[in-house]
Chain A
Amino acid sequence: MPRKQDDVYGDHISHRFNDELTELKSRFLEMGGMVETQIERAIQSLVDGDSQVADEVRANDRTVDRMEMDLDEEAILIIARRQPAARDLRLVISVIKMVADLERVGDEAKKIAKMAIKLIEEGQAPRGYVEIRHIASHVQGMLHDALDAFARLDSEQALRIMKADKQVDEEYQAAARALLTFMMEDTRNISRCMSVMWVLRALERVGDHACNIAENVIFMVKGEDVRHTSMEEAERVVGG
């Protein structure tokens, strides 16, 4: 008989333990949603040339930082109070690690917003924005799917995200080459192209963090560590 996802963490004898784990999951997803919004708005500020939105993104990073600290504290208290084991332990440990990734994604959003303000002030015709839009849409999808994989304990989806990360790396390399050509064509493009390059780099890092989250989801579900292993090994773990 199929069970709802929360039954996986919600059928302890101690109802308070159930509530604590449910709360931890829920607040992690809340932070994930916040960080997704931050990336989305940072890109929007850059593409629309809206420095007010960029300022808001930079200010909201403090909320993301606060969420990270609160979630870490909650996870530490669960360990101290409950000494979780097996899948409960894997959930708590994974959340502690994934929260760090989410916070770093928040930092990347802040960096993009900062570059957006710089590019708006320089006021030149946009170059490299097509690549930014393309890679942004790709890594936003990865982050979204990684959070979904966490919520649904879906290790197969997590594996797909790990595979998608390779594609992002290739797209980043291609975009960097294109920008290099712009810079070589006219040295006056260098400052602007460097800012665009930083944005691309930030987005590429977001892809890496989504990939880290996916690896942690596989650990949560399967109990095996697939970091620093080959894709074949990860496939074996998820398929087995």
Chain B
Amino acid sequence: MNTTVTAGTAGVSERQTATAPQPAREDTAVREGVTVGMPFADDPKFRLRNVEVFYGVDRAIKNISLDIARNEVIAFIGPSGCGKSTFLRCLNRMNDSIDICRVKGSLQLDDLDLYDPKRDVVELRARVGMVFQKPNPFPKSIYDNVAYGPRIHGLANRKSDLDDIVENSLRKAGLWNEVKDRLDAVATGMSGGQQQRLCIARAIAVSPEVVLMDEPCSALDPIATARVEELIAELSESYTIVIVTHSMQQAARVSHRTAYFHLGHLVEVNQTDKVFTAPEHSLTESYITGRFG
């Protein structure tokens, strides 16, 4: 160690090189199927048990059990390739589009078995909406982007009903005042932050119960990010929100609970305040303090 000690009191220099007794810490080992902290909730929105996901022969998710509470914002964090996005995509069966992907275990939304072979996936995705990393508006007008879902699900009988849905959704997404005079403009001409909020408006237009967000701010500037984060806080009053993020500060700001994933395991789930001040598992601590990534 390289330090300069100028004070003359005996003991200071010895202090600098003292060997510390280790503070009590959790084992660094990850035990399959064991999650420290508070992974379960009473009367959860999602009840997920012994979930495993395979890509061909590779096991990407290893025996994860987790409850997601109603109207909770839960953040999934972890290094790249840890399985957080894969796990998120199980929640509205987005993994179905990947041929080699297989999901095992029990995944329930309220009393609904998500992976029941008879399940109507389109209807499921109306209940569990999704916002992606890159804003992906349709190359249509702002109005048509938001109205698309309600139209295909037959949620509006009259034009005026549809107008109301579009306006309400855009208001909830904090976009109405910015676009109310140009609803016919092409959505792809908007700024990145506006496009992402439009995608959120589109997701909530079909009155989902859950909104999944896969790194929703990673392509946005800090101001647009702050707007989306504000929006998450407001939406959490009506929806359950699951957000995957690479920004630890974002997880700390927006979520109630934080789940730390590591190499396909769910290592720790705890109140966000606890995770960022005094996490239980040493791997969680190593990750959030920038000791490995």
Contact = CB atoms under 8 A, between A and B. Distances in A.
Interface of A: 2-6, 8, 11-14, 17, 22-23, 26, 29-34, 36-37, 40, 82-90, 144, 147-148, 150-155, 221-224, 240
B21 A153 contact: yes
B20 A152 contact: yes
20 contacts: A5-B20, A8-B22, A8-B23, A17-B290, A29-B5, A33-B9, A36-B7, A37-B7, A37-B8, A85-B276, A85-B289, A86-B289, A90-B277, A144-B11, A148-B18, A152-B18, A152-B20, A154-B21, A155-B23, A221-B23
Nearest to A219: B278
B3 interface: yes
Contact of B12 (A23, A32, A84): A32
Which 10 A-B pairs give the minimum distances between C-beta atoms?
A: A223-B278, A33-B7, A5-B20, A151-B15, A33-B12, A26-B3, A33-B9, A34-B7, A221-B23, A36-B9
B18 A151 contact: yes
Given A86-B285, A88-B289, A89-B277, A154 B15 contact: no
A11 B290 CA distance: 9
Given A85-B289, A86-B285, A90-B277, A5 B7 contact: no
Given A40-B9, A86-B276, A223-B278, A13 B20 contact: no
A22 B252 CA distance: 25
Classify the secondary structure of B's interface with A.
loop
A120 B103 CA distance: 85
B20 A37 contact: no
Contact of B279 (A3, A86, A224): A86
A85 B289 CA distance: 5
B80 to A, nearest CB: 14
A13 B18 contact: no
A148 B19 contact: no
A192 to B, nearest CB: 30
Given A30-B5, A30-B7, A33-B7, A14 B290 contact: yes
B7 A222 contact: no
A12 B290 contact: yes
Given A26-B3, A29-B15, A222 B24 contact: yes
B3 A23 contact: yes
B6 interface: yes
B154 interface: no
Nearest to B5: A30
A30 B6 contact: yes
Given A12-B289, A13-B290, A90-B277, A33 B20 contact: no
Contacts of B289: 12, 84-88
B126 interface: no
A30 B16 CA distance: 10
A37 B293 CA distance: 43
A30 B291 contact: no
Contact of A154 (B8, B20, B293): B20
Contacts of B276: 85-86, 89
A204 B278 CA distance: 33
B77 to A, nearest CB: 11
Nearest to A12: B290
B122 to A, nearest CB: 41
B1 interface: yes
A130 B45 CA distance: 70
